[in-house]
């Protein structure tokens, strides 16, 4: 089933080019992580997807249909800059927003009660929003994005400023929504979180999508580094093993050896060479964390595509 | 445009403002001030209109007092001012004059009266007395000549002078003080309500912009719906306040006996004033809402508020000063057709009866058409400007998008 489809978005603010031919798709049931450095164009993209901002060119469609007001009312949105009425009571506020999205008063109240319960702010329903701590305000903000049972979730930096418990609650909610078939797109600078949570990731730089795919796809490189922990091995055993195509990065009892990707036989030979010298406590492919990938992709303009 | 959405927005707007502590407190203060002010004004008004002048008369001059009273009633000299006559001796009168118990003492004979004052002779009274003396002399002479002075007196009283003005405009105009006053009161109320609501809507729009809640709202509803809802909500709020203050004033005036309900022509005139109030309010507040979205911070709101309030003063003062001085001038006629001027000028022109029916119909039509136009333009500026943060957005850029 087609989810959110973003095709060839272009947007300029005066002479500043915010987005260039940006395209990606988020399928239903998919958690999509949207990463990129500050000012890369994430917020602009999300605002365009929401129809709050008009692109210079390009289209946004959902479920195969051009995004319009009636579709937009079915989207749950959490803007980067948090925004709710500071002097309105939490419960009233959530009911109001749910009703603006077309729910009846009764359904709106039930949804408000459900989400304040799930997100742990049920005891604060009758308090003005401004009396809550920032973290709790953030939970209310997420509740406001969820309260009308949206068909699509677009969340700009939903995790910033949350304590670990709240991060877990929020992660579970997003996971659970995705499993219910809702496409979820969120941006974040917490790359470990994105890595743990997301099915697919898109990395933007200067308004262009420079990397797009599953975490495994993004990690896919020509070579893989293998860590070998063989405490009794000599300081030059890996070099002496003389495996074709291997590049020894670190030698000794705790060696790091680079092998071509997919060369399982070579990896086995490396393991045997190590076992011949010493018991092996660890033999593992070192996957570069997303943070490294991110730095790599974002920092080096010559490297992409 | 979905009315249910507009109504949701309006209801929130109304609820969050009407039940705010500051609103309730200031409303109570205003009601007390208005009701109290009317009572104080009534005290002074009544103390001057109810007064009467006491006049001492010598027994010899009594016939003159009778003619003075007839003369006063026929010519309505001194308005409703009542004259009370006391017959007394000259010795007592001098005492009373000094004490201020009587204003004047009339001695001498009816044909040669003496008006005795204790300083500051009242010219009007003397003139009245002099005319009475002339008539007394005339009627005495008529009686002496053998004719019936009573009949002549009767015929004199029946003389009816008619005034015919052949100028069609000025002749059609009958100044009705109550109508003029109520039209002026209406535009004062409009001006007052606009001043208050202008700041409400400007603060409200900027508040949504500052708290960024507008981003969520605009992802759900149309900018014009949001603006229309705000205008409706704040409009209802202003209307409730105006009705509250007006009824406080009217009830207080009624209880003080300033006028009775039968004096007010409830019906067409009150309804048309209310209509103008609503039209003017909607046009101005929609514009204010659109323009308020141009600024990002409460501190910058002056950049928009100040020119708007000055702009509002122009039609207001024109209505107060131009119309009474030049009700039939071309400038008055043209300006009162322009939407932003009409709500101030038309009610006053109607109050002065210096207007043709078609002119009123035309200006109402123009204003009614303007309302959705202003909401649309306001909504357009609003949607462009409202996501713009940082400095002030130029109106030109907002319109162009």
Contacts of A47 in chain B (CB under 8 A): 215, 387
pLDDT at A32: 92
Which positions ≥6 away from A231 have C-beta within 8 Å? A253, A278, A279, A281
Q: Read off φ and ψ for residue B387, nearest 5 degrees.
A: -95, 0
Instruction: Tell me whether residues B216 and A83 touch, CB distance under 8 A.
Output: yes
Which one, of A74, A143, A69, lies nearest residue B221 by Cα? Answer: A69
Closest approach of A50 to chain B, Cα-based (Å):
6
What is the ipTM for the molecules in this complex?
Answer: 0.73
pLDDT band for A298, please (50, 70, 90 cuts): low
How many alpha carbons fall within 13 Å on the CB side of residue A194?
31
Instruction: Tell me whether residues B219 and A88 touch, CB distance under 8 A.
Output: no
Closest residue, chain A, to B5 (C-alpha): A100
Closest residue, chain A, to B6 (C-alpha): A100
Instruction: Tell me whether residues B215 and A77 touch, CB distance under 8 A.
Output: yes
Contacts of A96 in chain B (CB under 8 A): 8, 12
Contacts of A74 in chain B (CB under 8 A): none
pLDDT at A94: 93
pLDDT band for A225, please (50, 70, 90 cuts): confident
Helix (H, G, I), strand (E, B) or coil at A255: strand
Closest approach of A301 to chain B, Cα-based (Å):
30
What distance in Å separates the CA atoms of residue A40 and residue A204, rounded to the nearest whole number? Answer: 6
Instruction: Tell me whether residues A73 and B217 touch, CB distance under 8 A.
Output: no
Closest approach of B222 to chain A, Cα-based (Å):
8
Contacts of B211 in chain A (CB under 8 A): 83-86
Closest residue, chain A, to B226 (C-alpha): A100
Contacts of A85 in chain B (CB under 8 A): 16, 207-208, 211, 213
Contacts of B217 in chain A (CB under 8 A): 100
Contacts of B215 in chain A (CB under 8 A): 47, 52, 77, 79, 81, 83
Q: Is residue A73 less than 8 Å (CB to CB) from chain B?
A: yes
Q: What is the DSSP annotation of B53-70?
A: EEEEE-GGGHHHHHHHHH
CA A263 from centre of chain = 31
What distance in Å separates the CA atoms of residue A197 and residue B228, rounded to the nearest whole number? Answer: 42
Burial of A174 (0-12, 13-18, 19+ CB in 10 A): buried
Q: What is the DSSP annotation of B22-33?
A: HHHHHHHHHHHH
Q: What is the DSSP annotation of B258-285?
A: S--GGGS-TTHHHHHHHHHHHHHHHHHH
pLDDT at B237: 86
Contacts of B16 in chain A (CB under 8 A): 85, 87-88
pLDDT at B399: 64
Q: What is the mean pLDDT of chain A?
A: 85
Question: Percentage of chain A surpassing pLDDT 70?
Answer: 96
CA A193 from centre of chain = 7
| Positive or negative torsion for Cα B23, B28, B29, B35 | positive
Return the DSSP state at B318: I
State in Å, rounded, how far the first CA of chain B is from the last one: 21
Q: Is residue A105 less than 8 Å (CB to CB) from chain B?
A: no
Instruction: Tell me whether residues B8 and A53 touch, CB distance under 8 A.
Output: no
Which positions ≥6 away from A112 have C-beta within 8 Å? A91, A94, A95, A98, A125, A143, A147
Contact status, residue A250 vs residue A236, Cβ threshold 8 Å: no
Q: In whole angstroms, how far apart are CA B177 and each of A177, B174, B246?
A: 71, 9, 19
Closest approach of B218 to chain A, Cα-based (Å):
6
Closest approach of B281 to chain A, Cα-based (Å):
26
Closest approach of A298 to chain B, Cα-based (Å):
27
Instruction: Tell me whether residues B220 and A86 touch, CB distance under 8 A.
Output: no
Higher pLDDT, A62 or A216: A62
Instruction: Tell me whether residues B5 and A85 touch, CB distance under 8 A.
Output: no
The verdict on pTM exceeding 0.90 is: no
Closest approach of A196 to chain B, Cα-based (Å):
28
Q: What is chain A's Cα-based Rg?
A: 24
Instruction: Tell me whether residues A101 and B220 touch, CB distance under 8 A.
Output: yes
Contacts of B5 in chain A (CB under 8 A): 100
Contacts of A11 in chain B (CB under 8 A): none
Burial per residue of A6-45, b for 16 or more beta-carbon CB atoms within 10 angstroms, e otherwise: beebbbeeeeeebbeebebbbebbbbbbbbbeeebbbbbb
Contact status, residue A243 vs residue A237, Cβ threshold 8 Å: no
Which long-range CB contacts under 8 A does B207-213 form with residues at least 24 apart?
Answer: B207/A85, B207/B298, B208/A85, B208/B386, B209/B293, B209/B296, B209/B386, B209/B389, B210/B296, B210/B297, B210/B298, B211/A83, B211/A84, B211/A85, B211/A86, B212/A79, B212/A81, B212/A82, B212/A83, B213/A83, B213/A84, B213/A85
What distance in Å separates the CA atoms of residue B114 and residue B129, rounded to the nearest whole number? Answer: 9
Q: What is the pLDDT along chain B (401 residues), one digit of tens a residue?
A: 678 889 999 988 888 888 878 888 888 898 898 888 888 877 776 655 546 788 888 888 888 888 888 777 776 555 556 788 888 888 888 888 888 888 888 888 888 888 888 887 877 788 888 888 888 888 888 888 877 777 877 777 777 777 666 655 555 555 566 667 777 777 887 788 788 788 888 888 888 877 778 888 888 888 888 888 888 888 888 888 888 887 887 788 778 776 666 655 555 566 777 788 888 888 888 888 878 877 777 777 777 778 888 888 888 888 888 877 777 788 888 888 888 888 888 888 877 777 788 888 898 899 888 888 888 887 777 777 766 655 556 666 666 65
């Amino acid at each position: 089933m087609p989810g959110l489809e973003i095709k060839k978005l272009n947007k300029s603010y005066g002479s500043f080019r915010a987005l260039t031919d940006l395209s990606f798709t988020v399928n239903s049931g998919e958690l999509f992580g949207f990463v990129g450095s500050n000012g890369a164009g994430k917020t602009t993209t999300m605002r365009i997807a929401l129809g709050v901002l008009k692109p210079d060119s390009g289209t946004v469609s959902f479920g195969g249909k051009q995004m319009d007001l009636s579709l937009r009312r079915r989207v749950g949105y959490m803007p980067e800059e948090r925004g709710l009425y500071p002097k309105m009571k939490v419960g009233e506020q959530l009911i109001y927003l749910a009703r603006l999205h077309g729910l009846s008063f009764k359904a709106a109240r039930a949804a408000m009660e459900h989400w304040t319960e799930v997100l742990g702010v049920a005891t604060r329903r009758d308090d003005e929003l401004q009396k809550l701590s920032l973290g709790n305000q953030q939970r209310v903000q997420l509740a406001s994005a969820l309260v009308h049972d949206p068909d699509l979730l677009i969340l700009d930096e939903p995790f910033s400023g949350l304590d670990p418990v709240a991060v877990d609650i929020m992660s579970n909610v997003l996971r659970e929504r995705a499993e219910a078939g809702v496409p979820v797109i969120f941006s974040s600078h917490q790359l470990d979180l994105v890595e743990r949570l997301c099915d697919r990731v898109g990395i933007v730089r200067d308004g262009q999508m420079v990397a797009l795919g599953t975490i495994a796809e993004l990690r896919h490189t020509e070579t893989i580094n293998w860590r070998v922990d063989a405490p009794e091995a000599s300081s030059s055993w890996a070099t002496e093993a003389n495996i074709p195509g291997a590049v020894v990065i670190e030698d000794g009892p705790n060696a790091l050896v680079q092998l071509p990707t997919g060369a399982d036989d070579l990896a086995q030979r490396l393991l045997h060479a190590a076992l011949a010298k010493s018991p092996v406590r660890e033999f593992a492919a070192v996957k570069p964390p997303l943070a490294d990938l991110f730095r790599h992709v974002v920092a080096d303009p010559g490297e992409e595509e | 445009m979905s009315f249910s959405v507009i109504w949701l927005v309006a209801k929130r707007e109304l609820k969050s403002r009407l039940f705010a502590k500051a609103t309730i407190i200031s409303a109570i203060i205003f009601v007390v001030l208005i009701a109290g002010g009317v009572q104080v004004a009534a005290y002074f008004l009544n103390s001057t209109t109810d007064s009467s002048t006491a006049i001492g008369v010598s027994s010899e001059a009594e016939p003159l007092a009778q003619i003075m009273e007839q003369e006063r009633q026929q010519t309505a000299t001194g308005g409703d001012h009542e004259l009370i006559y006391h017959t007394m001796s000259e010795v007592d009168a001098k005492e009373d004059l000094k004490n201020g118990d009587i204003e004047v003492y009339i001695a001498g004979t009816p044909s040669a009266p003496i008006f005795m004052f204790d300083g500051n002779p009242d010219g009007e009274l003397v003139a009245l007395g002099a005319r009475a003396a002339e008539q007394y002399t005339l009627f005495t002479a008529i009686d002496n000549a053998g004719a019936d002075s009573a009949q002549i007196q009767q015929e004199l009283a029946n003389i009816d002078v008619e005034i015919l003005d052949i100028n069609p405009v000025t002749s059609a105009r009958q100044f009705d003080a109550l109508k003029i006053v109520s039209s002026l009161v209406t535009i004062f109320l409009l001006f007052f309500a606009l001043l208050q609501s202008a700041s409400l809507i400007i603060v409200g729009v900027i508040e949504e912009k500052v708290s960024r809640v507008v981003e969520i709202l605009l992802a759900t509803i149309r900018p014009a719906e949001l603006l229309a809802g705000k205008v409706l909500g704040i409009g209802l709020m202003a209307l409730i306040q105006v009705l509250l203050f007006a009824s406080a004033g009217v009830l207080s005036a009624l209880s003080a006996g300033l006028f009775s309900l039968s004096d007010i022509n409830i019906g067409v005139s009150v309804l048309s004033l209310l209509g103008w109030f609503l039209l003017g309010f909607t046009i101005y507040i929609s514009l204010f809402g659109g323009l308020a979205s141009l600024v990002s911070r409460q501190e910058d709101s002056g950049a928009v508020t100040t020119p708007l309030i000055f702009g509002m003063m122009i039609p207001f003062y024109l209505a107060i000063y131009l119309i009474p001085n030049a009700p039939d001038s071309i400038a008055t006629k043209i300006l009162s057709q322009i939407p932003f001027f009409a709500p101030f000028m038309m009610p006053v022109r109607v109050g002065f009866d210096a207007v043709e029916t078609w002119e009123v119909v035309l200006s109402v039509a123009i204003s009614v058409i303007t309302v959705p136009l202003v909401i649309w333009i306001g909504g357009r500026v609003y949607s462009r400007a409202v996501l713009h943060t940082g400095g002030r957005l130029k109106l030109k850029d907002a319109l162009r998008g």
